[in-house]
Structure 1
Amino acid sequence: MAAPVPPPDAAPGADLTRLAELHGVAPSYRPSPDREEHASAAALVRVLAALGVDASTPEATRAAREARERELRERLLPPTVVCWSGSAPRALTALPPGTSLRIATEQGETWHFDAERAASWHIEAEQTDAERAASWQIEAEQTDAEQGASWHIETEQGARSTVDRLPPGVHRLTATAPGGRTAEAHLVVAPPRLPAPPGRSYGLLVQLYSLLSRRSWGMGDLGDLGELAAWAGRTLGAGFVQVNPLHAAVPGAPTDPSPYRPSSRRFPDPVHLRVEDVPEFAYVEDRERVAALLERAGRLRAAVLDKGALIDRDAVWELKREALELVRRVPLGPGRRAAYADFLAGQGQALQDHATWCALAEVHGADWRRWPPELRDPRSEGTPRARAELADRIDFHCWLAWLTDTQLTAAQRAAREAGMPVGVVHDLAVGVHPEGADTWAQQDFFASGMSVGAPPDAFNARGQDWGLPPWRPDRLAASGYAPYRLLLRGLFRYAGALRIDHVMGLFRLWWVPQGEPPTQGAYVRYDAEAMLAVLVLEASRAGAVVIGEDLGTVEPGVREALRERGVLGTSVLWFERDWEGDGQPLPPERWRADCLATATTHDLPSTAARLSGEHVELRDRLGLLTRPLETERAEAAADTGEWLALLARLGLLEPAGGGIGVPSEEAEVQAVHRFLLRTPARLVGVWLPDGVGDRRPQNLPGTWDQYPNWRLPIADAEGRPVTLEELTASPRLRALLEVLRGGG
């Protein structure tokens, strides 16, 4: 029987420290350049256990360390090898002399070469695709040792062409060493970097649920997104619209409104559907019931827009589900039926698992850990029986996923047809809910008993626990990052760009053992090169831009690695100061170019609230201040004053009334965005609520039931909800966007 873990304050010994390092678990971290913190022995033991490593006793720790050292010493290849196009994989340089390699590509070819002669590989292609008429004979010729090999290809018909690299993709690599020892690995071949966004552009940032039109059913939907994109692109030359994660939520009573704690990141939530845009809606025979549904939708909409009610996601979904159940009775036409069949075939087992979870959740509740034991594993003997019994409900949820996918695709098409060079920017949450569909369907890939969070830092002395189970890096690598690839591929189906929340998670995540405070955690490293290679591969295939949210504590080298691969960062005005110098606001010419520059985000005060100091008053009313109100007020005013002074010195903000009055709030907001245009940032984002003077943040970190996070419609300076139609007619919004359109 395993001994209990060490007490929380016990320091790890040498064996435990070494064992942790061998498995990518950091025994220490630096919250600031001048300070190092050490993880406790208890935290390391718990984290290693979640990785399947027994460190419960000194004897077990020593045995595990020796086994891991032996494994790393003797293996021919790591489970996943990365090859950036144009260069040979570094993992091949350590192979024993005489090792031969075989690569089975995604494209159906087989390549053979000698690992000792990476610059003049011998390649033989084997024809496997019956639809391809050519039979290839491939001979390698050395051209430029620094660029790799150039392969001359000759068909039976005598035509010649040149291929200078392995085709992009995730291939199977087999190494055979002298003596017959073999190893297999996944080979990720990716372009060296993503191309820059097409030109420089500005765009709008909005939480979709908050954007209600006079056609919405109580919250913003994909029809509203298409309308906003078409208007902004055609009328004002905007280049993109960025929205919150639209991932499927965990149903509940009530449903968690946060879009950053979804049931599944792989599939979108049908609550975002515009029901009237489903073609079959027009053919529902029971028109009286349709009229009643539309009347109820109008009441939901009016409650938010006219009566000050909060957005009620559960009420919206209850109504839409009822309507969609009715629509589903209308048979699909032959073309629509064929398109649905193609969607089912393309999504495969992943969609079947997601829809099965949705159907089982209707019967047994959302927390699969409380389901009957025979249903807690999608591959158990009991699950196929349940699939058969619930076949109709499973098909219903597959159909919903298809409808949502088609409307997401339509929104991106509307954006591009409106002239947007990027289009819709979708948001990828950092993780998923522990009770949701992804954790049920992919149990082997999640670390049991762990949650993602953040260690204590200058902003939060207690650390953070986000309640999101992390992926296991070892299982990801062993699969060739299969779930990660499928996730990205699904999102890039309808994204012109992808924003990755907490992009630092591609490098490391803070794991917190269940039942422990965030202080009792440890950083776990991921193979950042492999994670980036898969990201670059899938984004390049889709022709999409990638934006990393790299705010907060970022370890050295992360931003440089992202920039090298063409991943843009995120720069928020109020955080851009000369932290290594005098701490003053960073002048525009010193901002980085490879970023999305904004004045605020969904987690921060609106620009109007920051300029007026109302964000401090709000936190005071909610009891969130840790210092006296006057101290907080003074510090916020000084911070804002320094920025306004810089704007004035740069000639971006002029006093009102012929130079003797105080500039208006609207003038200050415009000056802030003129400043953003002065920076070299490739993308400039406007928080849509800033265009009408909204005071309220969409999310106030550190609150749960004290503040209506994720449930507020866009409102004007007086707190009156503003519809999409009113937004597009707003003189204040148009004036702000004309500043950006005109370059200042």
Structure 2
Amino acid sequence: MNAALQQRALAAGIEVAWTDAQGQPRLLAADTIDALLQVLGSHAAGDDPALRVVVAGAPLGMPERPREAFCLDTRRHVPLLHDAQGRVHAPDHPGHYLLQLGSREQHLAVAPARCYGVADLASRSSERAWGVSAQVYGLRRSDDGGLGDNQAVAAVGRHVAAAGGDAIALSPLHAATPPDEGFSPYSPSHRAWLDTLQIAPAQVAGTEALHDALERSGQLQAWVQSERSPLIDWHAQDTMRHRLWTSLRQGWGQQPEVRSAFDAFLREAGDSLYPHALFAAHQRLARTRGESTDWRHWDSDWADPDSALVQDFAQRHASAVEHECFLQWLAAQCWQHTQAQLLGSGQRIGLIWDLATGFEPGGSEAWQHRGLVVQDAHIGAPPDAFNPDGQDWGLAAYAPASLQRSGYAPLRTLLDRMMSRGGGLRIDHILGWSRLWFVPAGMSPRDGGYVRYPLHDLLGLLALASWRHRCLVIGEDLGTVPVDLRQTLADHGVYGMDVLQFTRDAQGAFVPPARWRTHAVAMSSTHDLPPLAGWRAGTDLGALSRVHAWNSQEQAMALRRRHHDVEQLDRMLQGFPASSPAQAALRAVAESAAPLALFPLEDVLAERQQPNLPGTTPAQHPNWRRRLSWRVPRLDATLRWIARHRRTRAHG
């Protein structure tokens, strides 16, 4: 490889050499390096960081010797410690500070050593924490209009709390583009704002106000019919609920006390909500007209939010923009009620929110922060055993240098918003906080490359937000994991994920739960895997065989491998007597060494179909559309079983 090209790549944060999922060393091709340098070219690093992130009490390592810092949280000046070597140390109390360094100011984020964790929760004798995870859209309740919502979450949460559980982990609930059949909760329009479909306004407005809006909007028949469908029609749900929520705002939303609460929300949101509401209103209009919802296909003047065209739209469609703001207030109120109900029922954590890795290149977040976003490249994953061709997720991400130059402003806002809504945050693909696989436009995912991110700065900001909101943090650390990353995450108080099907030793044997990590969350499965019952039956193999047109030999080979895995698992589960292999698996996860265990509702209810089959299209598999039928006796019995064995620590 050309030495000069290699130096340019390293300076831009591109990993020229890396190790693949099979442990084999790899070198990036010159064409990949050239393409990555091109897409990163407009994101050069600045000389002075807008924000320095340090651990509380640590040496600052700067030539200047300021005597004090101004705390932005308390609005007070704080003296700084100077040690015997003359080094200046950061304040002992975490928070945000300003340092006066001659004629310039330096913003300082002082972080705690680790994130808030399970051990910091209010104690409940010696019990270890546990809960369930749920695909919110798929939950059912009476009068839900065919889509799961926060009220259904609250109902499940009450059963979990009654059994002694502490949490309910959610599928992502970010603000979305008006959805079509290819909807995915992991492809959001804006991650800092909320989805406005999966909510139950009756929790805030009352059932009478909702039913009145149903009558006036003409959506009553569609509402009732939607409840009978086993699969969600996202486009139909969006159309129906948009009309219904509009009617609700025009009626109940005009009451003086409602207007007063909404106005208070707008004042608190400041200027941050308006750009998203403006963008969402234009997206809604574009969808109604049959036009693209991707801002990159709009009039070129939309690239400048201060342009006359954008300002004219804001004036002519002021009511539509205010409606989007109203929906954000309504969604925030609904989830605030749900979190209060869960904590009031005895849960110590309540809602665990899910943060998607990236966002739509044509969505609201990319539009608002377009100067910080990598253009002409998507993020994804390199080839591995499950995806030999690699993955292109079609998502955008921030350029590390530009994110750093902004003082990490979008990330700090995102963490504060999400952590303020619950007691936990799951970060999807936290490997991306260390490095992200970028696929330049026109290239195969196999020909992508890793770009490094300022991991220690990001983890410091994460810890600071975590303690500020008393919110524990889970990082999905599955996939091609860099050396020492799991230990680094553990050192910063970020829990990894130990998933039953993946927790094996170097020879492929299942690791007994007593040897699972004490700094990870134990799980029986995830949304990208078949539930335990489906995995044992090979349900996913039948679907994959149809999608990929396997021949009889390939089908037989996949079945043999699965039978071998099931036999291996059953050997490990012999130490966990139960009435069925599924219950033995739940017992094993419950008795694991992990401080927190989460059980997908699909496993609790012995379902076979998985929410998402990665690598498939809507025509091939109903991803993110399945509705879950939960029966109270079975739910309660399984939750009590889990609780009983969660009180037991596995041995041996």
So what's the TM-score if we normalise by structure 2? 0.91
Report the CA distance between 1:415 and its aligned residue.
0.9
For residue 692 of structure 1, report the CA deviation from its aligned partner. Answer: 2.6
The residue that corresponds to 1:222 in the other structure is 150
When residues 283 and 572 of structure 1 are mapped into structure 2, their CA distance, relative to the original with a 3 A threshold, is closer
Aligned residue for 1:259? 185
Compute the displacement of 1:363 (Å): 2.9
* Aligned 1:109-148 pairs, distance under 5 A: 109-110=76-77
Matched, 1:741 2:643: yes
Contact 1:427 1:501 in 2 (8 A): yes
State the SS of the aligned residue for 1:212: coil
Seen in structure 2, the aligned counterparts of structure 1 residues 363 and 311 have a Cα distance that, compared at 3 Å, is closer
Letter in 1 for 2:470: G
Count of residue pairs the alignment pairs up: 630
**Pair 38,404 (structure 1): closer, same or farther in 2 beyond 3 Å:** same
Structure 2 unmatched ranges of 5 or more:
122-126, 287-291
**Among 565, 571, 586, which residue is 1:639 paired with?**
565
Letter in 1 for 2:598: G
Counterpart of 2:467 (choices 510, 520, 540) is 540
Counterpart in the other structure of 2:132: 204
Say which of 561, 566, 570 aligns to 2:497.
Answer: 570
The residue that corresponds to 2:289 in the other structure is none
Equivalent residue number for residue 283 of structure 2:
361
* Aligned equivalent of 2:40, options 51, 55, 78: 51
C-alpha offsets along residues 53-92 of structure 1, whole Å, 9 cap, x if unaligned?
59xxxxxxxxx9xxx8xx8xxx5x5443222113223x42
After TM superposition, the structure 1 = structure 2 runs for residues 315-464 of structure 1, keeping only pairs within 5 Å, are 315-330=236-251, 331-364=253-286, 365-464=292-391
Q: 1:621 aligns with which of 539, 546, 549?
A: 546
Q: Is the 8 A contact 2:181 2:233 kept in 1?
A: no
Structure 1: runs of 5+ lacking an equivalent: 1-10, 55-63, 122-147, 150-164, 177-181, 305-309, 655-665, 715-721
What is residue 31 of structure 1 aligned with on the other side?
20
CA 342–190 in structure 1, closer or farther in 2 if over 3 Å, else same: farther
In the aligned structure 2, how far is the partner of 1:583 from the partner of 1:277?
Answer: 48
Structure 2 contact 71–96 (Cα < 8 Å) conserved = yes
Quote how far apart the aligned CAs of 1:255 are. 5.1
Distance 1:288 1:588, change over 3 A: closer
Q: Which residue of 2 aligns with 1:134?
A: none
Match of 2:623 among 680, 699, 709: 709
Amino acid at match of 1:188: A
Give the TM-score of the pair, scaled to structure 1.
0.80
State the shift of 1:405 in Å: 0.6
Name the CA distance, whole Å, in 1 between partners of 2:494 and 2:390. Answer: 28
Which residue of structure 2 lines up, in the alignment, with residue 610 of structure 1?
Answer: 535
C-alpha separation between the residues in 2 aligned to 1:266 and 1:313? Answer: 21
**Does structure 2 retain, via aligned residues, the 8 Å contact 1:249–1:256?**
no
Corresponding position: 1:295 with 2:221: yes
Q: Distance in 2 between matches of 1:231 and 1:530?
A: 39
> Do the aligned partners of 2:214 and 2:220 also contact (CA within 8 Å) in 1?
no
CA contact (8 A) 1:377 1:440 kept: no
For residues 210 and 533 of structure 2, what CA distance do their matches in structure 1 show?
Answer: 46
How far 1:616 sits from its partner (Å)? 2.1
Shift of 1:635: 1.1
Distance between the aligned counterparts of 1:668 and 1:427, measured in 2? Answer: 30
> Residues 376 and 118 of structure 1: is their aligned pair in 2 closer, same or farther, counting only changes over 3 Å?
farther
* Aligned 8 A contact 2:354 2:428 in 1: yes
The answer on whether the counterparts of 1:281 and 1:327 sit within 8 Å (CA) in structure 2 is no
Match of residue 517 from structure 1 = 444
Quote the offset at 1:25 in angstroms: 1.3
Q: Tell me by how many angstroms 1:280 deviates.
A: 7.1
C-alpha displacement at 1:372, in angstroms? 1.4
Determine which structure has more spread, i.e. the larger CA radius of gyration: 1
Conserved? CA contact 1:647–1:653, under 8 Å: yes
1:193 aligned residue (101, 114, 119): 114
Matches within 5 A, 1:244-255: 244-252=171-179, 254=180
Once residues 501 and 561 of structure 1 are traced to their aligned partners in structure 2, the CA distance between those partners, rounded to angstroms, is 17
Give % identity: 30
Per the TM alignment, residue 281 of structure 1 is displaced from its structure 2 partner at its CA by: 6.8
Kept in 2: contact 1:293–1:323 (CA 8 A): yes
Specify the alignment match of 1:599 in structure 2.
Answer: 524
Matches within 5 A, 1:474-489: 474-489=401-416
Match of 1:85 in 2: 56
Deviations 1:23-72 (A, max 9, x none): 21111211157521111222222222222259xxxxxxxxx9xxx8xx8x
Instruction: State the match for 1:653 in structure 2.
Output: 577
Q: 1:625 to 1:419 in 2, by over 3 A?
A: farther
SS in 2 for 1:270: coil
* C-alpha distance in structure 2 between counterparts of 1:578 and 1:358, whole Å: 48
Can you list the C-alpha shifts for 1:477-504, whole angstroms capped at 9, x where unaligned? 1121110011111111212101000011
Change (3 A) 1:18 1:216: same
C-alpha contact (below 8 Å) 1:496/1:544 kept by paired residues = yes
| Contact in 2 for aligned 1:275/1:320 (Cα 8 Å) | no
| CA deviation profile, 1:665-708 (whole Å, cap 9, x unmatched) | x6111100111123211111111122332111110011112111
Task: Tell me by how many angstroms 1:585 deviates.
Answer: 1.4
2:643 is aligned with what amino acid? R
Which SS does the other structure have where 1:202 is aligned? strand
Q: Secondary structure at the match of 1:395?
A: helix
Secondary structure in 1 matching 2:250: coil
Q: Secondary structure at the match of 2:437?
A: strand
Work out whether residues 201 and 210 of structure 2, in 8 Å CA contact, stay in contact via their aligned partners in 1: no
Shift in Å, 1:453: 0.7
Matched, 1:42 2:42: no
Deviation at 1:219, TM superposition (A): 1.1
CA distance in 2, matches of 1:681, 1:550: 15
Higher mean Cα deviation, 418-427 or 243-252?
243-252
Q: Partner letter of residue 356 of structure 1?
A: L
Q: Does 1:590 align with 2:518?
A: no
Given that 2:202 and 2:209 are in contact with CA atoms closer than 8 Å, whether structure 1 keeps it comes out as no
Give the Å deviation of 1:285: 10
Amino acid at match of 1:109: R
Deviates more, 1:198-207 or 1:534-543: 198-207
1:278-324 deviation digits (Å, cap 9, x = unpaired): 427745896782595333311110233xxxxx211221221121111
Instruction: State how far apart, in whole Å, the 2-side matches of 1:166 and 1:48 are.
Output: 40
Change (3 A) 1:415 1:442: same
How far apart are residue 362 of structure 1 and its match?
2.6
State the Cα distance separating 1:614 from its structure 2 match. Answer: 2.8
SS at match of 2:548: coil
RMSD: 2.5
- Give secondary structure in 2 for the equivalent of 1:608: helix
- 1:696 paired with 2:609, answer yes
Q: Please tell me the residue identity of whatever aligns with 2:250.
A: R
Residues 167 and 345 (structure 1), Cα distance of their counterparts in 2 relative to 1, 3 Å cut = farther
Distance in 2, Cα, partners of 1:287 & 1:377: 37
Distance of 1:273 and 1:321 partners within structure 2: 12
